[in-house]
Structure 1
Amino acid sequence: MNSTSKFGKLIGVLDVSNSFCKFLVYAVKNREILTCHEISINKIESSDEDEYDPIELWNAVQEAMRVATENLVILEIEPSDIVAIGITNQRETTILWNKRSGEVLNPLCSSDNRLNKILEKILLRTKNKKNYLRSVCGLPFDVCFSAIKIKWLMENNKAVQDSIDRNECYFGNLDSWILWNLTGGIVSGVHRSDVTNCSRTMLMNLESLEWDKRLCKFFDIPMNILPQIRSCSEIYGYVNIQGSTVLEGVPIASVIGNNNSALVGQICLKAAKVECHMEEDCSVMINTGQEIIYSDNDLLSTVGFQLGPNEKVHYALEGFIGSSCSAINWLKSSILSSTESNNNHNSSPVSTFHGMRNGNCFKSLQENDLAFVPALKGLCAPKFLYQAKGFLSGLTINTTSQQLLTAAKESICFQTKTIVDSIKKDCKTWPAISSLIVGGEFSENVDFLQLLANICSVTIERPQVSAPTGLGCMLSAALTMKILSLDEFKTTCVPPVDNFYPTINLDVSEEKYMKWLTALKTSIQANHQSPRDEVNSLLEGKDATKFIMNSIPGCLFLFSSYVIYVLSQQWP
């Protein structure tokens, strides 16, 4: 198709999470966002958990696409210039639906405390070895991964089990659900997913990039409910929405997880590149090239990206901060008075730092004795501890709302530091990490980035790129359509970079960090019900069971020596 628009060929990107969706339209030739429409998804009112309606999400996707294409017409740009669509999504969110009727069998939920009981059963079965399957799938046992959720739904939702028994059930993350509906649903919908999403299910073999029969058997999950696994850059299907004419027949040319897409969008395409994506949840990811590094420090071994079915897969190590921006929003809405909060802070979750840059940031670190552990839905960094609870220490009668918010932001920085330190430990022979590339909505606040640089003691690089997640997905789709090459992208899409350097004494940040670690240990001790030395070993990356294992050789030596001695005394 020859484009007549002055902007040339366009690519649409669907950016989807369980609480919002947006449709961005990019001009490929200059990577400019021409229009974007975002819609928020409401939480189910009757739910005590973070549950959302997948049907509402699908309706929001259609609305976002409709409004965005109408905006193109207003801008005198032909919607028919959209040559492909890409999908980038929040990973791990689990949906099961009936492939015959399209009925959703469970509310959409990314985090659910009801899963703790089934996780406890699995840990009991494996003698509390949370890394029992890590050598195959790269992941520890945790409630955030899809297999645990599927297992729980099979045992607690009769409609799910009945649908499975009738061979009518499909499983997918957000990408599979949207793709299936986008390509025709019960009429012609395709059931596929990409390697980045599938690598977060605990069901995919990290080396073969295929569903692993042993993993599926371990969780007792039938393989016929799982989507086909594809690369991030290839044709998945074609738009086939009833009543749609503008985008009808447009190929879906890319599917990729949101943090992985940010890794691509920030041009972290070579090994040793580290990217920190800061949205509602935060992720720190290092590209490890074709090498799978199995972490000794609770990082996740995962797929970074695969930009084509015949291209090499790039693996990654990832640390995940489960409650970051969401913890700050929770503090503002549930704990702090709305009057004081609104008087001192902008309502935007990324605009709540004021007067803390450079010298003021140094003063803040010295004066604020609060330590906040944002384990609102368990803990992900520095360790995956589903039983962990939030913790706040250092409160006095003089504590202000500003100090509370600052402590929350400091906690994000401290968790980021633990992840960066863990990467250094796991990649001992790699070049030292001297800089961290950041992106996402939360990175728009310069004062927060300065605080991050001070606490992590590294240079923070913020490329002047809007929506790196969308940009990475756009590139993946453009590669599929052969309208853009990686060399062209790297040559023409290197934006100016804002640098933030550490400006405080290392001893000050280390002292504050140690106070936070003390609060973290206290929190774990209170909720983990473990001896203090076991908690310390847990945070230092040591497996408490290894203390027993390590003592076995010595015991055997002493016992065998004693036996030999006794026998020698009896020998003539």
Structure 2
Amino acid sequence: MARYIIGIDQSTQGTKALLVDEAGRLIHRADRAHEQKVNEEGWVSHDPAEIAANVLAVARAVVEEQGVDPADIAGIGISNQRETTVAWNARTGEPLCDAIVWQCSRAQEVCDRIAQREGAPEVIRERTGLTLSPYYPAAKMTWIMENVPEARDIARAGDLHLGTVDSWVVWTLTHGAEFRCDYSNASRTQLFDIEKLNWSTRCCRLFGIDPAWLPEVTDSDACFGMTDLDGFLPAPVPIHGVLGDSHAALFGQGCYAPGQAKATLGTGSSVMMNVGHELSRSQTGLSNSLGWRMGGETVYVLEGNINYAGAVKTWLRDDMEMIESPAETTDLSYAANPASRVYVVPAFTGLGAPHWNSEARAAVFGMTRTTGRAEFVRATVESIAFQIFDVADAMQRDSGVSLAELRVDGGPTRDPYLMQFLADMLRVPIVAAGNDEMSGLGAAWAAGIALGIYPADVARSVAPRAGWDAKMHENDRTARIKGWRRAVKAAIAFAG
């Protein structure tokens, strides 16, 4: 009997299911988008019920479309958009409000208020490895408790669940039997003590969050419960391999050793470096997190997050109407005037690492009368590489380790102009995965390893790669980086 793993990748733009065979190869994919809710204040939300329905729909579709017997499904792995925060009634299963997406900075006032408490930012940074920010779930949870009256009522009744998307998906797949999240997701909440490996009583108190509202934290490769996909499978199968999407991609990229790094380019971008079993604290504003905890061993990472990576191409298409598809940006970038020095700073919801300025707003610098569509598009594409450069530069200063290469994955890696420009800015080889599904595959492989289906080094044997080497003259590179840094400073200064 054949054995397959379903990898579910619940991302910001939609939900994908990957069907992975006994050799660890991706053989089919099904996906479904969900609504992106953005109001006039820039708040970004998702409907948790829509996400739960889509998880079931794609998991079923990937099996049916390939003609696989549902009885041959051995297990499920899950990767998820991180920091997006869900609140629901544990008794009825009803979400209390739309999920607050990681991009959303509506909880800035919460952070400003906590920052006024003597020593609070330092305590939060010390315990969680994260700089106080509305980016993380802690402040989003506080906002929900202060602005959704039903949440307070349900909390008093003892029925409140607050969690990241992995906990919501696990809860719905197990029909409410399991309220769990993994260590990688817990470490991104700004409520988890990354040294003691438990919910921080001090941080929870600062944010007004009762730990009883939070999920049980479980090893990333442990069994999170059983699911039959709402009756689709003839018998329940275990959910294993649950990780935040960037952590799953690090695992899928085979970055198992300290000093190995990857960048996942999706809606945003996560640049992450494995720093081993000991915590290495950042001095440059990067995040300290748990890469994963498997087999009882903890792996720590340094990470910098970028709010807008692939999303800038969506912006060019949907809002600016400069392109009809993201693929057009490659030809336009090559067609642009080589002498153009336009810089786009895509701070639509503030700037992430290493700047951490949620008040900054998007800006364009360096336009002249001859600046046209191609030059504007190219500058927007280059902003992705510049943001990754900022994080990689900080990461090397923090760790004291020079990058030998950067492994990348995600849809934007199909853009050869962007990949070459990234290699030129970093001056290291860029090594791209053979497909765009490293988050879902990483979770699927972790599940398969836990179930004894795959060898521990499955990522190295299955993932083909392509690469780009630096070509740009150093003087040109230096001038471009200097221009980018001036543009970022100006965008921050404009916000006051």
The TM-score with structure 2 as length reference comes to 0.95
Higher deviation after alignment, 161-170 or 36-45:
36-45
Task: Please give the residue correspondences for 1:163-242 in structure 2 after superposition, counting only pairs within 5 Å.
Answer: 163-185=154-176, 189-242=177-230
Instruction: Give the deviation of 1:466 after TM superposition.
Output: 4.3
Q: 1:380 aligns with which of 332, 335, 352?
A: 352
Q: Distance in 2 between matches of 1:435 and 1:113?
A: 33
Q: 2:88 aligned with 1:119, yes or no? A: no
User: Compared with structure 1, are the counterparts of its residues 47 and 236 closer, same or farther at alpha carbon in structure 2 (3 Å cutoff)?
Assistant: farther
Structure 1 contact 382–415 (Cα < 8 Å) conserved: no
Instruction: Give the deviation of 1:381 after TM superposition.
Output: 3.0
Q: Distance in 2 between matches of 1:72 and 1:91?
A: 29
Q: Secondary structure at the match of 1:114?
A: coil
Instruction: Give the deviation of 1:469 after TM superposition.
Output: 1.1
Q: Distance in 2 between matches of 1:32 and 1:219?
A: 43
Q: 2:492 aligned with 1:524, yes or no? A: yes
Q: Distance in 2 between matches of 1:45 and 1:114?
A: 12
Instruction: Give the deviation of 1:414 after TM superposition.
Output: 1.1
Task: Please give the residue correspondences for 1:457-472 in structure 2 after superposition, counting only pairs within 5 Å.
Answer: 457-472=427-442
Q: 1:285 aligns with which of 259, 267, 272?
A: 272
Look up the match of 1:19: 13
Q: 1:352 aligns with which of 322, 329, 336?
A: 329
Higher deviation after alignment, 466-475 or 316-325:
466-475
Could you tell me which runs of 5 or more consecutive residues in structure 2 were left unpaired when the two chains were aligned.
none
Look up the match of 2:468: 500
Task: Please give the residue correspondences for 1:468-547 in structure 2 after superposition, counting only pairs within 5 Å.
Answer: 468-487=438-457, 489=458, 492-493=461-462, 495-527=463-495, 529=496
Q: 2:135 aligned with 1:144, yes or no? A: yes
Q: 1:58 aligns with which of 49, 52, 55?
A: 52
Instruction: Give the deviation of 1:194 after TM superposition.
Output: 0.1
Look up the match of 1:412: 384
Per-residue CA distance 1:227-281 (angstroms, 9 max, x = gap)? 0001110111111554x14264111112111010100111001110010111111
Look up the match of 1:97: 88
Structure 1 contact 18–108 (Cα < 8 Å) conserved: no
Q: 2:321 aligned with 1:330, yes or no? A: no
Structure 1 contact 19–52 (Cα < 8 Å) conserved: no
Q: 2:302 aligned with 1:317, yes or no? A: yes
**Partner AA of 1:281 in structure 2:** G
Q: Distance in 1 between matches of 2:222 and 2:490?
A: 49
User: Compared with structure 1, are the counterparts of its residues 160 and 294 closer, same or farther at alpha carbon in structure 2 (3 Å cutoff)?
Assistant: same
Instruction: Give the deviation of 1:445 after TM superposition.
Output: 1.5
The TM-score with structure 1 as length reference comes to 0.83
Structure whose alpha-carbon radius of gyration is higher: 1
Q: Distance in 2 between matches of 1:509 and 1:481?
A: 48
Instruction: Give the deviation of 1:108 after TM superposition.
Output: 1.3
Structure 1 contact 453–460 (Cα < 8 Å) conserved: yes
Q: Distance in 2 between matches of 1:61 and 1:168?
A: 24
User: Compared with structure 1, are the counterparts of its residues 356 and 519 closer, same or farther at alpha carbon in structure 2 (3 Å cutoff)?
Assistant: closer
User: Compared with structure 1, are the counterparts of its residues 512 and 326 closer, same or farther at alpha carbon in structure 2 (3 Å cutoff)?
Assistant: same
Q: Distance in 2 between matches of 1:514 and 1:426?
A: 21
Q: Distance in 1 between matches of 2:346 and 2:127?
A: 30
Q: Percent identity?
A: 27
Q: Distance in 2 between matches of 1:473 and 1:318?
A: 19
Q: 2:77 aligned with 1:86, yes or no? A: yes
Structure 1 contact 457–506 (Cα < 8 Å) conserved: no
Q: 2:372 aligns with which of 380, 388, 400?
A: 400
Higher deviation after alignment, 325-334 or 46-55:
46-55
Q: Distance in 1 between matches of 2:340 and 2:122?
A: 37
Instruction: Give the deviation of 1:126 after TM superposition.
Output: 3.9
Q: Secondary structure at the match of 1:320?
A: strand
**Partner AA of 2:106 in structure 1:** R
Look up the match of 1:301: 288
Structure 1 contact 183–238 (Cα < 8 Å) conserved: yes
**Partner AA of 1:449 in structure 2:** M
Instruction: Give the deviation of 1:328 after TM superposition.
Output: 2.7
Q: Distance in 1 between matches of 2:39 and 2:492?
A: 31
Structure 2 contact 291–300 (Cα < 8 Å) conserved: yes
Instruction: Give the deviation of 1:435 after TM superposition.
Output: 1.2
Q: 1:40 aligns with which of 33, 45, 52?
A: 33
User: Compared with structure 1, are the counterparts of its residues 422 and 389 closer, same or farther at alpha carbon in structure 2 (3 Å cutoff)?
Assistant: same
Q: Secondary structure at the match of 2:57?
A: helix
Look up the match of 2:245: 258
Q: Distance in 2 between matches of 1:88 and 1:107?
A: 20
Look up the match of 1:448: 418
Instruction: Give the deviation of 1:46 after TM superposition.
Output: 6.7
Q: 2:62 aligned with 1:68, yes or no? A: yes
**Partner AA of 1:420 in structure 2:** A
Q: Secondary structure at the match of 2:154?
A: helix
Per-residue CA distance 1:29-54 (angstroms, 9 max, x = gap)? 2x222221100001348775222211
Structure 1 contact 196–305 (Cα < 8 Å) conserved: yes
User: Compared with structure 1, are the counterparts of its residues 439 and 44 closer, same or farther at alpha carbon in structure 2 (3 Å cutoff)?
Assistant: closer
Look up the match of 1:273: 260
Q: Secondary structure at the match of 2:223?
A: strand
Per-residue CA distance 1:41-90 (angstroms, 9 max, x = gap)? 013487752222111111111211222221132xxx32211100011101
Q: Secondary structure at the match of 1:235?
A: coil
Q: Secondary structure at the match of 2:329?
A: coil
Q: Distance in 2 between matches of 1:180 and 1:515?
A: 48
Equivalenced residues, count: 494
Q: 2:422 aligned with 1:434, yes or no? A: no
